[in-house]
Amino acid sequence: MNECSNTVGSDVLLYSYHRSFNGFAAKLTKDEAAKLRGKDGVVSVFLSQRKQLHTSRSWDFMGFNRKVKRSVIESDIIVGMLDTGIWPESQSFNDTGFGPIPRKWRGTCQSSTNFTCNNKIIGARYYRANGDYSPYDYRSPRDSEGHGTHTSSTAAGGLVSKASLYGLAKGTARGGVPSARIAVYKICWYDGCYDEDILAAFDDAIADGVDIISLSVGSIFWSDYFDDTIAIGAFHSMKNGILTSNSAGNSGPSPSSITNFSPWSLSVAASTIDRKFVTKVKLGNGVTYEGTSINTFDLKGKMYPFIAGAAAPNTSQSYTSEDSRYCGPGTLDETLVKGKIVFCDYDSNADGPVEAGAIGAVFQSGRHKDYAFAYGLPLSNLNLDDGRIVFDYVNTTENPTATIFKTNVEDNQFAPFVVSFSSRGPNPVTADILKPDLTAPGVDILAAWSEALPLTETEEDTRVVSYNIISGTSMSCPHATGAAAYVKSFHPTWSPAAIKSALMTTAFPMSSENNIEAEFAYGAGHINPALAARPGLIYDAGEIDYVKFLCGQGYSPKQIKLITESNTKCSEVMNEAVWDLNYSSFALSTTPGDSVTRVFHRTVTNVGSPVSTYKAVVNAPPGLIIQVQPSVLSFKSLGQKQSFTVTIGAQLGNSMVSGSLIWDDGVHQVRSPVVAYASLLE
């Protein structure tokens, strides 16, 4: 058991959460859980589940360069990272030049023989209620997986020049707020991240005094708001003035695959930046084909014998060519494959070719090629068209040969677009709240890495690196975290909703040309950190607004009272419709084939010029009607609020239609997406 303040030593009681919210984690039978669920004062009892990790140049790509204006209090901002821990020796976390720890910090550092904090990493804790450690785990906040080190350096790592992965993506690695402090909460291990540990970390992070919480973790399947520990923790963070930044999930592009979608947290999709990794394959006939991978091996152009996996079945283990064509572990005959490049009809982790002694591998598959992986040997992933040609070559040529080149970095002229794996909306619980909120870079991101593990999971791979290139909404989430911390450094009193609004309304607009799911892929658009610190207007909301939302969502008065720990009843706050939450996007749904008209009520707060006049600019394609009343908002002071209504009408088949509302004063353009769609949730 760890030594956190919310941990108790009982064999049955795992955690008692009492610092920021009330609850406990315990080992119960089904009957005991059922009895407890029926007792007065118990809002919910649910089974602990295991959650997954949602797994340089990106800041420059967003126009957020090193010379961007910085707040004098950035070094007082504390970013709470709930992840796999951190590798404290990384240059990204060097504390040279840092002043003393901010006075507001109330946390601790669980130091050990292999881990100490400094003035950059000011706090660190670890959580493992079940006490089950693997031989590869560190019983400390030290990172044995790499993921937490990567996300921490992306959000708040310092400037490290000449960082690269064996020369790939070489440049200055840096986080969004390089001078901010980092507090580490290690909740994830070799087998995932467990609910009871996640809640314990939230409880501590809130009490410790962090400013922003970053969590690149989520379920495979969505849950209702208060059956989801991340939503519960984020709600209590919001109550305490802390925005939680969440990864949307890596189950895209299926609709409603998003798993982190609570309205009080920031849900971040993953998109590309303006570079891509290309790995070329040259055949003995002189023709070259372009595939994808992150190949750091250099065969120096030497041609090697080329064989199809289907021609090398491991018959001694009763495998046939129908097995070996996919090059799975154990399916290939080592005597036929060793020292050769092998052609495989599937995109796998390459363990089979490595195990058989292949010098390299060429994969063909129909899977998306908009992100790349590193492998334990030279490898290139080809699309099906090129793969078919190469397959014909290797099967019809006498003594076929090939070579695989080291990966090249090329321009991606279509960026940014949301990557295929990024989870999509619509919101599976509240159809009339648009999710995800926005998108940020999450593809082929270079950042710090743990030196406790090899570059790939291939057993023979012994390469250890200090910086790695990986992809996931896990990588986009800390970009948004860093941007939120940047905004917080200029506006330390802003609420989580205000910061979130600033990020959403200043986002770069994106087009459905590259993403057919449109706003269900990218939300309000691509994050624009430099502009987010001066949004002009904000859509603010506090705890009472979310209580109204929960009332409208259908939670009982008893649940609302117990969730919020207040005596507020739905009848007292008016049971408002969920779409009247003061959100900086607009979504309305109806059943397929129906028309729909809805009136939205919104209030904006002036944070731009003291005296200003904003005019409503509506962009509505055919099939969508957007009317704003009043269409002009005049302000005479900072902090002044103005309310308005938006009437939206749409005729829908089985599709969606989207537009936007922009409040424009000639200096600020405060943009909100407007989405109408046919929903099966109605």
Q: Which of 78, 417, 418, 52 shows the shortest CA–CA distance to 214?
A: 78
Confirm if 88 and 64 have CB atoms less than 8 A apart.
Answer: no
Would you say residue 296 has pLDDT above 60?
Answer: yes
Question: Where is 353: in which H helix or E strand?
Answer: helix 351-355
Would you say residue 681 has pLDDT above 60?
Answer: no
Per-residue pLDDT at 595: 86
**pLDDT over 70 for what percent of the chain?**
91
Sequence-distant (6+) residues with CB within 8 A of 606 are 536, 537, 612, 635, 637, 638, 639, 640, 641, 642
SS (H, E, C) 550-614: HHHHCCCHHHHHHHHCCCCCHHHHCCCCHHHCCCCCEEEEECCCCEEEEEEEEEEEECCCCCEEE
Per-residue pLDDT at 682: 45
User: Given pLDDT bands bounded at 50, 70 and 90, which one contains residue 88?
Assistant: very high
Per-residue pLDDT at 651: 84
- Please state the rounded mean pLDDT for residues 360-384: 92
Classify residue 396 as exposed, middle or buried by CB count within 10 Å of its CB (0-12, 13-18, 19+).
exposed
Q: Which of 592, 593, 600, 654 shows the shortest CA–CA distance to 625?
A: 600
N-to-C CA span, the chain: 45
Tell me the CB-side half-sphere exposure of residue 552, using CA atoms within 13 A.
20
Classify residue 374 as exposed, middle or buried by CB count within 10 Å of its CB (0-12, 13-18, 19+).
buried
Pair of tokens at residue 125 = 């804790």
Q: Which of 16, 39, 426, 423 shows the shortest CA–CA distance to 258?
A: 423
Would you say residue 9 has pLDDT above 60?
Answer: no
Taking the C-alpha atoms of residue 84 and residue 410, their distance in angstroms, rounded to an integer, is 32
Would you say residue 136 has pLDDT above 50?
Answer: yes
168: β partners: 165
Per-residue pLDDT at 562: 61
- Please state the rounded mean pLDDT for residues 91-105: 96
Widest distance between CA atoms in the chain: 84
Give 401-451 pLDDT, tens digit per residue.
999 999 998 888 888 999 999 999 999 999 999 999 999 999 999 999 999
Taking the C-alpha atoms of residue 293 and residue 97, their distance in angstroms, rounded to an integer, is 38
- Please state the rounded mean pLDDT for residues 615-634: 96
- Please state the rounded mean pLDDT for residues 625-639: 97
Burial 499-528 (b: 16+ CB within 10 A, else e): bbbbbbbbbbebeeebbebbbbbbbbbbbb
3-state secondary structure of 445: strand
E-state strands within 54-97: 78-83
- Tallying the residues shown for the chain, one arrives at 682
Per-residue pLDDT at 560: 73
Find out whether the peptide bond into 630 is cis, omega within 30 degrees of 0: yes
Taking the C-alpha atoms of residue 230 and residue 225, their distance in angstroms, rounded to an integer, is 9
Tell me the CB-side half-sphere exposure of residue 262, using CA atoms within 13 A.
28
Q: Which of 479, 370, 377, 407 shows the shortest CA–CA distance to 150?
A: 479
644: β partners: 602
Sequence-distant (6+) residues with CB within 8 A of 348 are 326, 327, 328, 363
**What are the residue numbers of the active site?**
83, 147, 474
Would you say residue 345 has pLDDT above 60?
Answer: yes
Angle between helix 229-239 and 496-505 (nearest 10): 110
What are the φ/ψ torsions at residue 621 (nearest 5 degrees)?
-75, 170
3-state secondary structure of 641: strand
Taking the C-alpha atoms of residue 154 and residue 483, their distance in angstroms, rounded to an integer, is 11
Q: Do β-strands 23-26 and 13-17 pair in parallel, antiparallel, or remain unpaired?
A: antiparallel
Which residue has better confidence, 222 or 501?
501
For 77, 135, 274, 494, 657, the CA distances from 242, given in Å and listed in that order, are: 12, 36, 32, 10, 34
3-state secondary structure of 16: strand
Sequence-distant (6+) residues with CB within 8 A of 622 are none
Taking the C-alpha atoms of residue 379 and residue 279, their distance in angstroms, rounded to an integer, is 8
3-state secondary structure of 61: helix
Pair of tokens at residue 667 = 């200096």
Taking the C-alpha atoms of residue 647 and residue 626, their distance in angstroms, rounded to an integer, is 6
Question: Where is 363: in which H helix or E strand?
Answer: strand 360-364
User: Given pLDDT bands bounded at 50, 70 and 90, which one contains residue 338?
Assistant: very high
DSSP, residue by residue, 110-132? --BTTB---SSEEEEEE--TT--
Per-residue pLDDT at 46: 62
DSSP, residue by residue, 240-285? TT-EEEEE--S-TTSTT------TTSEEEEEE--SEEEEEEEEETT
Which residue has better confidence, 34 or 120?
120
Would you say residue 31 has pLDDT above 90?
Answer: no
The chain-wide mean pLDDT, for the chain, equals 90
Min mean pLDDT across 238-252, 288-302, 500-514, 589-603 is at 589-603
Question: Where is 183: in which H helix or E strand?
Answer: strand 181-186
Q: Do β-strands 288-292 and 275-283 pair in parallel, antiparallel, or remain unpaired?
A: antiparallel
DSSP state at residue 405: P
User: What domains are there in the chain, each with its CATH number?
Assistant: 1-38 (no CATH), 72-274+420-510 (3.40.50.200), 277-410 (3.50.30.30), 530-678 (2.60.40.2310)
Pair of tokens at residue 86 = 């951190």
Taking the C-alpha atoms of residue 426 and residue 493, their distance in angstroms, rounded to an integer, is 32
pTM recorded for the entire structure: 0.91
Per-residue pLDDT at 19: 66
Taking the C-alpha atoms of residue 436 and residue 467, their distance in angstroms, rounded to an integer, is 29
Taking the C-alpha atoms of residue 379 and residue 396, their distance in angstroms, rounded to an integer, is 22
At 394, the amino acid letter reads V
